Structure 1
């Protein structure tokens, strides 16, 4: 009986040794390699030889696409060309819309979006912003003949006042949030929307002060309403892929250098003077 009991004990001990040996063997296995980070656009763009820039083409003085000549112009189009040169790549403009610009960046349809884009928290959930390069905000624009009628938001937000707005961006969001009694109409083309005011089919548009100033210079009939005292705070920046911190930091460095050495001012002067 003692021998049988001893045999069983030895068998159990042998089984434990096998289990322990297996545990030691597993412990000696090297950990799996960490996942490799995706290549930053800072490397991918020069490797590809192309910088893809999303832009709406309907927001002068920052971006404009002429459908007759297929030519892109504007302050941020000039800045995009400078950015491409600094990266050693050719510039390709990818047309986008205000309501989809952040989605297009997030979906890798472009490397960066440029063209008077206001920092907005909804966009910032989908993509990252560069440092701001211009402090802006909303300002009304109307016919000079009716300038005294629309000196503040309370005078604009009244029954019978015809407000026109372009779709998909911060202009429409501002109108939906702040105007409760005025008659708000969406006009699909931001390139022709100011003609609606000139032709007296609308009374007011509320847009960024920078655009209101520029459009009032192009249309002597139109006057920006107190653009030096905007109705909101809307700094402008460039929209970048979320998570690509390396590219974001480099773009910020390039932007600071461009403002510091006068490059941005030189491009801006062409349009704003």
Structure 2
């Protein structure tokens, strides 16, 4: 119906009639916007309330992360600093903990599909991840370390790595790849798809050294008889590790930050870091 025809059928004056007609035309759009806002509000999860209601906090982990959230292949039990901290968090909340196996490749999906309430497996704070999750205050900080064969000569210090004829291997998609690509001036960079391919390249002699973080470097030293950890004289690309929670729940993030501050202050975090050999990368 046109506004002129509509106004002829009403007792409203011309100005009021046209204004009222405009309101009627816009009403569906206004209602749609209100409905969208309501749907967004419904999509937001009150994690604290949900955790208390179910009596369980769901914690995403990567069970291959040595000293962080590692499933021991001999015993089948989970061990590491974040396993300890997950139990501590559950105790503080007065609930039990349910671990959800995952990986870094599945992290974004876990944080955006309500798969877990929190990811506790040494999540590196990165700008690209911040679009899909919120980060707690950091509890660990690790730079890049090198793993070399203890029997290979010519690698006494970090400065020996970037030399003609040396081959350095990194995993594709890690922050080590662009960092080493920009830093290496004389050594050759080899890029592999899977993390285990790095050590295989060194064992086979196709590469001289592979780049990793401190926890995985400790794994190589602790669980093999050939690996040696090479530490830089100054931190290389230090990265904060934090806990990740879904976006849109500031109260839950605030509770996790309070937890991080508490375990730092009361010594539980330091004790766990000492237990699992991570004291050198404990954050302030």
Instruction: Name the TM-score class by shorter chain.
Output: 0.7 to 0.9
Q: 1:65 to 1:196 in 2, by over 3 A?
A: farther
Among residues 73, 82, 87, which one is paired with 1:76 in the alignment? 82
Among residues 94, 98, 102, which one is paired with 2:104 in the alignment? 98
1:48-59 matches, within 5 Å, as 48-59=54-65
1:107-146 matches, within 5 Å, as 107-146=113-152
Contact 1:160/1:182 (<8 A) preserved: yes
Give the Cα–Cα distance (whole angstroms) in 1 for the partners of residues 257 and 203 of structure 2: 39
Q: How far is the alpha carbon of 1:138 from its aligned partner?
A: 1.0
Among residues 193, 206, 209, which one is paired with 2:214 in the alignment? 209
Q: How far is the alpha carbon of 1:201 from its aligned partner?
A: 5.5
Whether 2:51 is the aligned partner of 1:45: answer: yes
The equivalent of 1:5 in structure 2 is none
* TM-score (normalised: structure 1): 0.76
Give the Cα–Cα distance (whole angstroms) in 1 for the partners of residues 10 and 66 of structure 2: 83
* TM-score (normalised: structure 2): 0.73
Contact 1:51/1:84 (<8 A) preserved: yes
Q: How far is the alpha carbon of 1:68 from its aligned partner?
A: 5.5
Residue by residue over 1:190-225, the C-alpha shift from the partner in whole angstroms, topping out at 9 and shown as x without a partner, is: 5x9646645656421211234434543444543222
Among residues 252, 258, 271, which one is paired with 1:266 in the alignment? 271
2:116 partner SS: coil
Give the Cα–Cα distance (whole angstroms) in 1 for the partners of residues 268 and 108 of structure 2: 26
- The worse-fitting range, judged by mean Cα deviation, of 203-212 and 114-123 is 203-212
Q: 1:268 to 1:47 in 2, by over 3 A?
A: same
Give the Cα–Cα distance (whole angstroms) in 2 for the partners of residues 152 and 228 of structure 1: 7
Aligned length: 258
Residue by residue over 1:53-96, the C-alpha shift from the partner in whole angstroms, topping out at 9 and shown as x without a partner, is: 11112221112123554422111111111112222222222222
Contact 2:60/2:116 (<8 A) preserved: yes
Contact 1:159/1:183 (<8 A) preserved: no
Q: 1:51 to 1:14 in 2, by over 3 A?
A: closer
Among residues 218, 227, 243, which one is paired with 1:238 in the alignment? 243
Where in structure 2 are there 5+ consecutive unaligned residues? 1-7, 24-30, 279-284
Q: How far is the alpha carbon of 1:113 from its aligned partner?
A: 0.9
1:119-198 matches, within 5 Å, as 119-146=125-152, 148-149=154-155, 151-152=157-158, 155-157=160-162, 160-166=165-171, 168-172=173-177, 174-175=179-180, 178=183, 182-186=188-192, 188-190=194-196, 194=199, 197=202
Q: How far is the alpha carbon of 1:233 from its aligned partner?
A: 1.6
